[in-house]
């Protein structure tokens, strides 16, 4: 673990806000993407990686339960600063939003682990899950896969971009039109589930996959070690598929 302080690297409040928004849209470790989308050209990717680590350290002061356990597992297994950056200490916005931010970062990070898998986005989801309730009548396994892959590619809750990408393998427009929808269903007028329904489905998919992954961990790894099957999570940058 690096022990030098981040305090010598200047981060302005405006940069902090841009960083936070992009981090909570795409997750980590994604310094290349964060630098580009958040317009942080004056910072190196190493500085962005360190600031990400420091951001999580600061967030850990305010979260509890599974988010604290999961994020602690990541920071303990990756190289980074040993303390938060001064701009992140006593940040009221972080204190107010810590619960939401903690869960979001856990979900996005684990989504990244799924992206680095063997190409099967649904590998960690038990078959029994797919026989349960669906977002809408036409929804199937390919649509779950498209939702996961699209979120990783385009960012959290960016459903207009996700739905517009035909390469993600969603059920065809014709099939959706022919499926029909009962009155009071969660589908919107164009045949898609609402944003709230899609977000609940996404969270459920990731939650089920993470719980299945944890069951497969050796008992001595359940509360520590790496947050991924074979890679030192956080220390290796992802091979990104980024939005245009």
What's the pLDDT at 194? 92
Lowest-confidence range among 84-88, 127-131, 170-174, 212-216?
170-174
For 193, phi then psi, to 5°, come to -60, 155
Q: For 69-124, how does the pLDDT look when each residue is reduced to its tens digit (9 = 90+)? A: 999 999 998 888 888 899 999 999 999 999 999 999 999 999 999 998 877 899 99
Q: What is the mean pLDDT of residues 129-146?
A: 92
**SS3 assignment, position 67:** helix
Residue 244's pLDDT band (cuts 50, 70, 90): very low
The number of angstroms, rounded, from the C-alpha of 21 to the middle of its chain's C-alpha atoms is 13
Q: For 226-243, how does the pLDDT look when each residue is reduced to its tens digit (9 = 90+)? A: 444 333 333 323 332 333
Q: For 29-54, how does the pLDDT look when each residue is reduced to its tens digit (9 = 90+)? A: 999 999 999 999 999 999 999 999 99
How far apart, in whole angstroms, are the C-alpha atoms of residue 128 and residue 151?
A: 23
How far apart, in whole angstroms, are the C-alpha atoms of residue 145 and residue 122?
A: 7
Supply 54's token pair: 């420091």
Which residue is associated with the tokens 């981040």?
6
- Residue 175, C-beta contacts closer than 8 angstroms, at least 6 positions apart: 138
> Residues 142, 145, 148, CA angle at the centre, nearest 5°?
150
- Residue 76, C-beta contacts closer than 8 angstroms, at least 6 positions apart: 224
């Amino acid at each position: 673990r690096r022990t030098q302080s981040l305090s010598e690297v200047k981060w302005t409040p405006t940069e902090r806000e841009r960083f936070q928004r992009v981090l909570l849209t795409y997750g980590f470790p994604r310094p290349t993407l964060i630098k580009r989308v958040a317009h942080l050209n004056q910072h190196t990717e190493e500085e962005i990686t360190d600031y990400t680590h420091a951001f999580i350290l600061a967030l850990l002061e305010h979260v509890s339960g599974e988010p604290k356990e999961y994020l602690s597992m990541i920071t303990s297994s990756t190289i980074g600063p040993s303390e938060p950056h001064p701009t992140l200490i006593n940040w009221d916005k972080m204190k107010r939003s810590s619960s939401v931010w903690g869960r979001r970062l856990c979900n996005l990070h684990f989504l990244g682990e799924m992206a680095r898998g063997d190409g099967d986005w649904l590998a960690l989801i038990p078959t029994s899950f797919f026989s349960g309730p669906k977002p809408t009548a036409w929804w199937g396994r390919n649509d779950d896969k498209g939702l996961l892959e699209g979120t990783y590619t385009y960012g959290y809750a960016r459903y207009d971009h996700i739905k517009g990408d035909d390469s993600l393998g969603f059920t065809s427009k014709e099939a959706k039109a022919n499926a029909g929808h009962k009155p009071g269903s969660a589908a919107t007028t164009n045949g898609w589930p609402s944003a709230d329904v899609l977000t609940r489905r996404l969270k459920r998919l990731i939650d089920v996959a993470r719980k299945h992954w944890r069951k497969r961990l050796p008992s001595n790894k359940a509360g520590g070690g790496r947050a991924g099957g074979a890679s030192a999570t956080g220390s290796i940058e992802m091979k990104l598929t980024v939005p245009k």
